[in-house]
Structure 1
Amino acid sequence: MSGLIFFVTGRDAIAEIRAICIEEIGVWMKMYSDAFLNDSYLKYVGWTLHDRVREVRLKCLKALQNLYTNRELFPKLELFTNRFK
């Protein structure tokens, strides 16, 4: 269910809502990596890398930076890294 909610709000017409969503999914991925750091949620992060609004893309990059600073998360990020490099 949370994936569907995130998909709907992550595609919102208002850039501020998209920025908040991507920032929060980054927090969830770090805090609850077993539940949220997987391809089902990482795809939203990947899509947001191409958002038309600079601030949204910046929130996305900051969320990713926060994940990539933890070496323990590297294995879970491998497919994402290869797909979106």
Structure 2
Amino acid sequence: MALNPVRTVVLARSLADFHTWCRQTGTSPRDRTVLYASGPQTLRGLGQVEIVRHDAWWDRLDEAAYTEAVASLMDRQLPQADVTVSSS
């Protein structure tokens, strides 16, 4: 049984900001190991992840629910393995 690769979850204010992050890092937005967290629902049920916070990722209409979902995801990750969190 193959292990699932660690996914990079990009927290960005908008899809345009996600695309900016992709250009800055040389990452394809179609890469299956990269996920734009478009909202709190996107973060549910994820396995092993690396969280990247881009620019003003928190400046959203759904800020409270989004921030809560990020915290919940990080809490679920910590017992299993180290979680890498970076900013750009």
Q: TM-score by structure 2 length?
A: 0.40
From the CA coordinates, give the structure whose radius of gyration is larger: 2
Instruction: Compare relative contact order (CA 8 Å, sep 6+) and give the higher one, 1 or 2.
Output: 2
